[in-house]
């Protein structure tokens, strides 16, 4: 980590509670069951969750790395996280990213009021993990200068993807050749193809959903956009049961219902070198293993995924 980051206040949260329904065609082929994609080994002999865990391990203290999962997936996360029982937040059901993040933030701030938190999805691929860690390190160092903002890693767009969120950068705050930091002018969630083409031409970035900020800043965004969620969580204490709370709240997507409404509170750090891909469809997984010359056993010459990842 950068020398100026106090390790005792740095926290990582790995988001591993999704159902992965869009990838079940492929997970059935690879694993023979309907496990969510984060628990599936598509390449390298390791699950996506294990790849994520190893990727971020050098940056955060082990005891400050939390995992959020969903109880229905216990068969899989019990095998994946046997050494992280006390650092695993088990949701009664999947209620979307905002709810999972809020629960983890509440648990963290009760231990560390000054926590600096980074959120990492568990279903991504990076062609260059060192470049990814360099971007995260830069973000951890920069965001402390902007305590009321949340920083998002923005990947350079390679094509006009309609299934990603897009970030329109604004004024430059840190003019770094490797990792420029900019304000966010606008956030576009899954735009139609004509808009995505225009955004790519204008140099807009893909939202990787890797986010860094003080816990207090994340909670302020949630309070602004979905105050009913935090009111529900006020009745919960870490170690207590979440069933009643999850029964009271609906599904809340952090990108659509929070980020899209508060661009003035967001910063974007350009990540040009890590080769980020969200493995959200069978086609994207096939694209990754083909592009990198991988030859997993499940990839036969006659396999043609039905779910398209993008439109060019």
Q: What is the pLDDT of residues 192-245, one digit of tens each?
A: 999 999 999 999 999 999 999 999 999 999 999 999 999 988 877 666 678 888
Measured distance CA(154)–CA(152) in Å, rounded: 6
* Domain assignment present for 299: no
Question: Under DSSP, is residue 213 helix (H, G, I), strand (E, B) or coil?
Answer: strand
With b for 16 or more beta-carbon neighbours within 10 A and e for fewer, the 130-139 pattern comes to ebbbbbbbbb
Nearest alpha carbon to residue 137 among 226, 235, 58: 58
Q: What is the pLDDT of residues 245-298, one digit of tens each?
A: 898 899 999 999 999 999 999 999 999 999 999 998 888 998 898 888 888 888
Q: Domain range spanning residue 122?
A: 7-291
With b for 16 or more beta-carbon neighbours within 10 A and e for fewer, the 78-88 pattern comes to eebbeebeebb
Q: What is the pLDDT of residues 70-94, one digit of tens each?
A: 999 999 999 999 999 899 999 999 9
Q: What is the pLDDT of residues 54-71, one digit of tens each?
A: 999 999 999 999 999 999
Q: Is the pLDDT of residue 309 over 80?
A: no
* Domain assignment present for 141: yes
* Domain assignment present for 272: yes
* Domain assignment present for 301: no
Any idea what the CATH number is for the domain that residue 167 is in? 3.90.550.10
24-31 and 282-291 are packed helices; what angle lies between their axes, rounded to 10 degrees? 60
* Domain assignment present for 300: no
Structural domain count, the chain: 1
pLDDT band at 2 (very low <50, low <70, confident <90, very high): very low
pLDDT number for residue 243: 87
Element (H, E) at 247: helix 243-248
* Domain assignment present for 1: no
């Amino acid at each position: 980590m950068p020398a100026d980051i106090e390790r005792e206040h740095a926290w990582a949260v790995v988001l591993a509670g999704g159902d992965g329904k869009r990838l079940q065609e492929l997970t059935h082929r690879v694993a023979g069951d309907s496990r969510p994609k984060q628990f599936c080994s598509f390449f390298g002999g390791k699950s996506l969750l294990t790849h994520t865990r190893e990727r971020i391990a050098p940056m955060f203290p082990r005891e400050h790395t939390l995992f959020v999962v969903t109880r229905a997936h216990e068969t899989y996360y019990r095998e994946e996280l046997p050494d992280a029982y006390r650092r695993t937040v088990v949701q009664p059901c999947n209620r979307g990213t905002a709810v999972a993040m809020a629960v983890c933030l509440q648990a963290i701030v009760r231990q560390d009021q000054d926590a600096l938190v980074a959120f990492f999805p568990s279903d991504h691929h990076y062609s260059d993990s060192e470049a990814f860690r360099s971007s995260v390190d830069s973000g951890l160092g920069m965001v402390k200068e902007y305590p009321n903002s949340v920083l998002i890693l923005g990947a350079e767009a390679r094509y006009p993807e309609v299934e990603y969120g897009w970030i329109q950068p604004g004024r430059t705050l840190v003019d770094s050749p490797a990792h420029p930091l900019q304000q966010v002018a606008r956030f576009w969630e899954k735009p139609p193809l004509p808009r995505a083409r225009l955004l790519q031409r204008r140099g807009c970035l893909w939202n990787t959903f890797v986010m860094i900020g003080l816990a207090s800043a994340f909670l302020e965004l949630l309070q602004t956009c979905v105050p009913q969620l935090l009111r529900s969580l006020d009745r919960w204490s870490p170690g207590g049961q979440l069933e009643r709370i999850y029964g009271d709240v609906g599904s809340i997507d952090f990108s659509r219902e929070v980020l899209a409404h508060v661009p003035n509170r967001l910063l974007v750090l350009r990540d040009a070198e890590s080769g980020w891909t969200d493995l959200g469809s069978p086609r994207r997984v096939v694209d990754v293993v083909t592009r990198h010359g991988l030859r997993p056993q499940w990839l036969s010459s006659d396999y043609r995924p039905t779910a398209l990842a993008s439109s060019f």
